[in-house]
Amino acid sequence: MQAAHPIIVVGAGLAGVGIARELAARGEKVILLDKGEPGRGTSFGNMASIAVNGFDAASRPSTWKNLPRWMMNPQAPVTADPLYAVKMMPWFLRFLAAGRPKRIREIEDAGASLATRALGDIRSLLDQMAASDLLSEATCLQLYETEKAFQDGRGNLELMDRYGLKYEVLVGPALREREPLLNPAILKAVLLPQNHFVTDPYRYVSAIVADMQKHGGELMNGELARVERDIRGVTAVILKDGRRIETDRVVIAMGMQTADIAKALDESIPLETERGYHTQIMAPGGAAGLRYSLIWPERAFMVTPTAGGIRVGGSVEMAGLTRAPNWRRARILVEHAKFALPSLDVGNTTEWMGHRPATPDTIPVLSASAKTKGLYYSTGHGHLGLTYSATTGILMADMIMGRTPPVDMTPFRIDRF
């Protein structure tokens, strides 16, 4: 039987739409609220990759070792605005604390509990939606230019070994045969057979929203101003234009803005924006026949055949929410891509920047409020919002409906901070 009030999911990005759709498909009354068009936030421009091996803890000794060198180099995969670096110091201190060996293992265990089921959950979601065409059957090559880079990256292979993910190391002719477009200067690649990609990230979000509506969920345009509560828990949400919607369950999945609402409700989510860029190339010349998505860990960028062309993107820029994009970051990635794929033409392009909502310990917040009954949070998906999208929907819907999720949700609790 449906409850009298709708469950309100605020934020129609990857962290919210899967939850709203799952609840609607299970027969719950749902409103998905967004101040803009669904899927037009950070979820619009990601690299489309279901990166099931991408759950390494971001804070680890190898990252720390590189940080000083990266900070001095505008071409580095990670950069920080020096003035902003001071402002983000509290987050950065938590980031360092997350890099203790015991904590790294906990973070990896938690990440693996989501990542190892992510592809299956996305497949199942798309099957249920009769939208399997949104998943490419092509997979991913992880590139290494030198033997040293490969050895430096061994940690990721050990991670995959530990959690039972498959991979294959390709060298020389075997690599060239798989992907003839690659620059012969690239020595090795790791084939990641479980890292598929979606054929269009924006269409993926839109299809989930449409399916939610098919199941009776309502999409509403409006900006959340605050959540009203009394001693029993959530009572309503108030929108900026004054509208008041009564509810006893609300999910805050507002990307970077989630932290502000949490703060107003006496809870702390340390979120930082890891700004990232893409260039969408609609006339890629000889690279139009690219068979795989490519990830180059050393240079922190990806190339994915998606959204009707070739998308080049990645990079991490710590510079806050308000500073104008530095398009040079996007152009550096295109130069890297031209090196990897010498036949790539850069014609008919658009550039984009987005804000990855990142926690200092890499793993998302998928949690009931520790303070207010009926309040839930879904945020901090960082580099893996697409990867975790369907899994987030299932686990959060279980939690909201009072069922036991199939994954231990303790590591994702809001009160871990």
Q: What residue ranges bind ligand FAD (CB under 6 A)?
A: 10-16, 33-36, 41-43, 45-49, 51, 223-224, 253-255, 257, 276-278, 313-314, 354, 356-357, 379, 381-387
Task: Give alpha helix (H) positions in 98-192.
Answer: 101-128, 147-152, 154-162, 172-178
Q: Is 384 helix (H, G, I), strand (E, B) or coil?
A: helix
According to DSSP, residue 275 is labeled E
* CA pair distance 397, 405, nearest whole angstrom: 9
Across 158-261, the runs of DSSP E, i.e. the strands, are: 168-171, 188-192, 218-221, 224-230, 233-239, 244-246, 250-252
- Minimum distance from residue 311 beta carbon to ligand FAD (Å): 9
| CB distance 304 to 49 below 8 Å | yes
Q: Between residues 39 and 102, which has the closer beta carbon with respect to ligand FAD?
A: 39
Q: Between residues 184 and 384, which has the closer beta carbon with respect to ligand FAD?
A: 384
Query: Residue 285 carries which side chain, given as an amino acid letter?
Result: G
Q: Between residues 5 and 381, which has the closer beta carbon with respect to ligand FAD?
A: 381
Q: Between residues 232 and 323, which has the closer beta carbon with respect to ligand FAD?
A: 323
- Minimum distance from residue 262 beta carbon to ligand FAD (Å): 12
**Which pair of tokens denotes residue 114?**
């989501």
Query: Residue 241 carries which side chain, given as an amino acid letter?
Result: D
Instruction: Count CB-CB contacts under 10 A for residue 1.
Output: 4
Q: Between residues 1 and 328, which has the closer beta carbon with respect to ligand FAD?
A: 328
- Minimum distance from residue 271 beta carbon to ligand FAD (Å): 10
Q: CB under 8 Å to 23, separation ≥6 — which residues?
A: 7, 9, 30, 217, 397, 400, 401
- Minimum distance from residue 289 beta carbon to ligand FAD (Å): 21
Q: CB under 8 Å to 172, separation ≥6 — which residues?
A: none
Closest CA to 41 of 385, 397, 387: 385
Query: Residue 374 carries which side chain, given as an amino acid letter?
Result: G
- Minimum distance from residue 304 beta carbon to ligand FAD (Å): 7
- Minimum distance from residue 93 beta carbon to ligand FAD (Å): 23
Q: Between residues 257 and 359, which has the closer beta carbon with respect to ligand FAD?
A: 257
- Minimum distance from residue 54 beta carbon to ligand FAD (Å): 7
Q: Between residues 206 and 379, which has the closer beta carbon with respect to ligand FAD?
A: 379
